[in-house]
Structure 1
């Protein structure tokens, strides 16, 4: 997809069709919810609404791929092999961005970076990174304790929303006794601890 020209409704519809073919209906509805929220946040905070739309529509493009496909790409393409110790929750962002680039011909690094970071965050995040990270958490189809508060915060202060989401995600992972990816801890240290 060439972003040197205007992002048209026809391009969006074509992208939606290609994305929809890669996932279940439930996942696709989530993706549409993330797009709706991402475009609204982009409009509020002054980011590119086109890039927010594209990144949101493609952020879970690889989510339902089999683990062995991710493992093969990690080994073939020179990723840190420690990544093999984690699962799809991490892979579909970090590795999924390269699948989006290869299959959908999206080469805009800002969009690819937002896809890479949408599950882990990072200490350094662009405006688009923060928008996709938060939109994924607060899209209208999400229903869990604290999501309303997260939505309220996102409409007031995007950085505070990143901090809130990161803290809640970490608490959830600890409660579930799940392995925590190091970048998630970096995100927590920067956005929650260092910003106090």
Structure 2
């Protein structure tokens, strides 16, 4: 696998501003992996590819999603959710990436899931807090990320859910399940806290 080719191909899939976002997610993911004991190389790869097909036309995303035989229930929700699962399938088929952990981190970076892996959490959170992000509450999420992946992710999911509620949009149930599971992890002390800073 040629990382430079992956970078070039990924950059070609998106506008310049989204590429800057991707670079920010890579930097944030590497930093979080170092802080919380994750695999830095896997974090870099998943971060690079997480938005691979986000800017494909929605009709094309829907078509490719259906052709790949992915969960049809997701098609009933905001089409912004499609690019995660679709990107995982596309990069697997196009580039032969078979690492299930990397593919899952790409697949679930927008929705989360129950029993998120460390890499899932890193990519999802890096997507929320990369330096180019500017939305109400992002500073608090970044502060929380200094100490707890789970606490920061709960704050991120809360922000997303509140935004969707304010717009009268449907909430994908898996995101609520992910949020609730992260709260349980936090309460039980099984989460990934930075013991040096906690």
Taking structure 1 as the reference length, the TM-score comes to 0.89
- Mapped partners of 1:76, 1:15: distance in 2: 23
Match of 1:32 in 2: 23
Match of 1:55 in 2: 46
- Mapped partners of 1:101, 1:187: distance in 2: 24
Query: In angstroms, what is the RMSD of aligned CA positions?
Result: 1.6
Unaligned runs of 5+ in 1: 2-10
Match of 2:105 in 1: 114
1:61 to 1:160, Cα distance in 2 relative to 1, 3 A:
same
Report the CA distance between 1:195 and its aligned residue: 4.8
Unaligned runs of 5+ in 2: 188-198
* Alignment counterpart, residue 60 of structure 2, candidates 69, 76, 101: 69
- Mapped partners of 1:56, 1:75: distance in 2: 24
1:155 to 1:194, Cα distance in 2 relative to 1, 3 A:
closer
| 8 Å CA contact retained: 2:102, 2:119 | yes
Report the CA distance between 1:105 and its aligned residue: 2.2
1:193 to 1:176, Cα distance in 2 relative to 1, 3 A:
farther
- Mapped partners of 2:66, 2:5: distance in 1: 31
SS in 2 for 1:31: helix
Report the CA distance between 1:81 and its aligned residue: 2.1
Corresponding pairs, count: 187
Report the CA distance between 1:194 and its aligned residue: 7.5
1:194 to 1:35, Cα distance in 2 relative to 1, 3 A:
closer
Report the CA distance between 1:156 and its aligned residue: 0.8
Taking structure 2 as the reference length, the TM-score comes to 0.88
- Mapped partners of 2:180, 2:150: distance in 1: 14
Report the CA distance between 1:75 and its aligned residue: 2.5
Report the CA distance between 1:83 and its aligned residue: 2.1
Alignment of 1:1-196 (within 5 A): 1=1, 11-192=2-183, 195-196=186-187
SS in 2 for 1:112: helix
1:154 to 1:144, Cα distance in 2 relative to 1, 3 A:
same
- Mapped partners of 1:43, 1:81: distance in 2: 36
1:39 to 1:77, Cα distance in 2 relative to 1, 3 A:
same
Report the CA distance between 1:102 and its aligned residue: 1.5
Moved over 6 A (4+): none
| 8 Å CA contact retained: 1:167, 1:192 | no
| 8 Å CA contact retained: 1:74, 1:83 | no
Report the CA distance between 1:28 and its aligned residue: 0.3
